[in-house]
Amino acid sequence: MLIIEAKLKGTQAQYSKFDEAIRTGQFIRNTCLRYWEDNMRVTRNDLQKLCSVLAKNQETPWVKKLNSQARQAHADRAWTSIQRFYDNCRLGKPGKKGYPKYKKFSRSVEYKNTGWKLSADRKRIAFSDGFEIGTLALWTSRDLVWYSQKQIKRVRVIRRADGYYAQFLVDWNRSQEHKFQGNMVGIDLGLKEFYTDSEGNTVGNPRYLRKSERRLKMLQRRVSKKHIKGNKQTNRYHKARKALAKQHLKISRQREDKARKDALALVRSQDLIVYEDLQIQNMVKNHHLAKSISDASWYQFTQWLKYFAKIYGRIVIAVPPHNTTVDCSVCGTKVKKTLSTKTHKCSKCGIILDRDLNAALNILAKGLKLLAEYINSTEGHSGSGVKSSKAQGETVLWLKNGDALVLSQLDELRTKFSWESPAILRSN
């Protein structure tokens, strides 16, 4: 699937109708959730039928304005949250299970195959449901003329701080051919540097939030000064509130752009990438580092890394970060360090390395060891990927195409790196 986003340019009256459609979709989702709470053995089909009941109900005539398939899409949203809660309970996920919550400030409405139509030149889109939104212009750097309307499975309209956007979900299998060169790298994510790889290269951490803190504080003070408790807010308050929201939106876009470009550059230059599977939700509980960890956007980077790896046919392995900083990458001796210690000095073998470089080498060793075990156990057999090994405490999030990709590159990998190396097969 491919997602193409375009900005919608219309009148203020059209934007107000979009707001009404978004509120209607929110009402349908919350009603479906309440129906699930009040009744037993509710299925997805029951929620779909409830949409038709709401449209015919005389107490909720505005529901009928929303396109029928759009109503079903919001029922699907409710069912997705319910199904995720069931799966977490069934799998025994530790901590909170993600009980479905009611939406208070929804920002999107979703259409399926009906209720909208693109113009012949793909420059405009018309919405034809009961809200009578009409035709709006599409501003995008991606050309939709290459895709037929049948290939577009869904259209989602999103309200953001700087306007309204349409997201087109296109049925398109994106893939890129590449020549295998046997390049392998392990990366250690950090705060001083965004990441350090096993070859000693580093990528800087831009710290977008830290750089914008001064302006954010100024905008936040303006919002606080213009806020009137218990009364209807003035136009100056809403103007200040929108300026603050736009600044936060700018920071989030900077983070996403940085993560996407770094992940793409890494995938294009390497054939095997190993990174540490950090538990970021637990790490941000440290209030001394929470802001810096969130500003680094490690999770977003790893998500783009796996996405581009699927497109370019690279192997991506995630390993647990246990002892990657402590262990010596040469002899395996444990060298205790504090957060302020930036240099790895081994008392046994005498090696002196940068702390992050030592961790990156250990991460690569863990990934290669796990890949070697996988190839040795599945060579000559079909499979779908690497399964987690709880005995060794190692988890692989994703391995491209299972045996098909790994076995086709087995000879090249063995030539590039010896699987019998003590640094690789060292017990953890």
Structure confidence at residue 277 (pLDDT): 87
Give the long-range contacts of residues 53-58, CB within 8 A, separation 24 or more.
Answer: 54/28
CB 102 within 8 A of CB 33: yes
Residue-wise pLDDT for 200-253, tens only, equals: 899 999 999 999 999 999 999 999 999 888 778 899 999 999 999 999 999 999
Q: Which residues of 279-311 are buried (b: 16+ CB within 10 A; e: fewer)?
A: eeeeeeeeeeeeebbebbbbebbbebbbebbee
Structure confidence at residue 179 (pLDDT): 75
156 beta partners: 110, 167
Structure confidence at residue 423 (pLDDT): 40
329 part of a folded domain: yes
235 part of a folded domain: no
- Residue 293 shares a structural domain with residue 149: no
Structure confidence at residue 93 (pLDDT): 84
Structure confidence at residue 409 (pLDDT): 52
Closest C-alpha among 80, 79, 73 to residue 116: 73
- Residue 43 shares a structural domain with residue 88: yes
Residue 99 identity (one-letter amino acid):
Y
**Residue 365 corresponds to which tokens in the numbers above?**
């060793």
243 part of a folded domain: no
- Residue 13 shares a structural domain with residue 106: yes
* pLDDT < 70: residue spans in the chain: 375-428
312 part of a folded domain: yes
SS (HEC) of the chain: CEEEEEEEECCHHHHHHHHHHHHHHHHHHHHHHHHHHHCCCCCHHHHHHHHHHHHHCCCCHHHHHCCHHHHHHHHHHHHHHHHHHHHHHHHCCCCCCCCCCCCCCCCEEEECCCCEEECCCCCEEEECCCCCCEEEEEECCCCHHHCCCCCEEEEEEEEECCEEEEEEEECCCCCCCCCCCCCEEEEEECCCEEEEECCCCEEECCCHHHHHHHHHHHHHHHHHHHCCCCCCCCHHHHHHHHHHHHHHHHHHHHHHHHHHHHHHHHHHHCCEEEEECCCHHHHCCCCCCHHHHHHHCHHHHHHHHHHHHHHHCCEEEEECCCCCCCECCCCCCECCCCCCCCEEECCCCCCEEEHHHHHHHHHHHHHHHHHHHHHHHHCCCCCCCCCCECCCCECCCCCCCCHHHHHHCHHHHHHHCCCCCHHHHCCC
Catalytic residue check, 327: no
Choosing from 271, 276, 295, 394, the catalytic residue is 276
Choosing from 76, 110, 188, 394, the catalytic residue is 188
- Residue 283 shares a structural domain with residue 418: yes
Structure confidence at residue 180 (pLDDT): 74
Catalytic residue check, 276: yes
217 part of a folded domain: no
- Residue 127 shares a structural domain with residue 199: no
152 beta partners: 170
Choosing from 110, 356, 394, 403, the catalytic residue is 356
The vertex-258 CA angle with 253 and 264, nearest 5°, equals 125
Domain stops at, among 144, 170, 196: 170
Structure confidence at residue 212 (pLDDT): 95
325 part of a folded domain: yes
246 part of a folded domain: no
- Residue 198 shares a structural domain with residue 131: no
- Residue 259 shares a structural domain with residue 403: yes
- Residue 161 shares a structural domain with residue 260: no
- Residue 202 shares a structural domain with residue 151: no
Structure confidence at residue 23 (pLDDT): 96
- Tally of domains in the chain: 2
The answer for residues whose C-beta is within 8 angstroms of residue 419's C-beta and 6 or more apart is 368, 372, 425
Structure confidence at residue 394 (pLDDT): 33
- Residue 198 shares a structural domain with residue 286: yes
- Residue 265 shares a structural domain with residue 155: no
Catalytic residue check, 188: yes
The vertex-330 CA angle with 325 and 334, nearest 5°, equals 45
Residue whose token pair is 């259409």: 111
Domain limits for position 126: 2-170
Domain stops at, among 170, 194, 217: 170
242 part of a folded domain: no
- Residue 147 shares a structural domain with residue 271: no
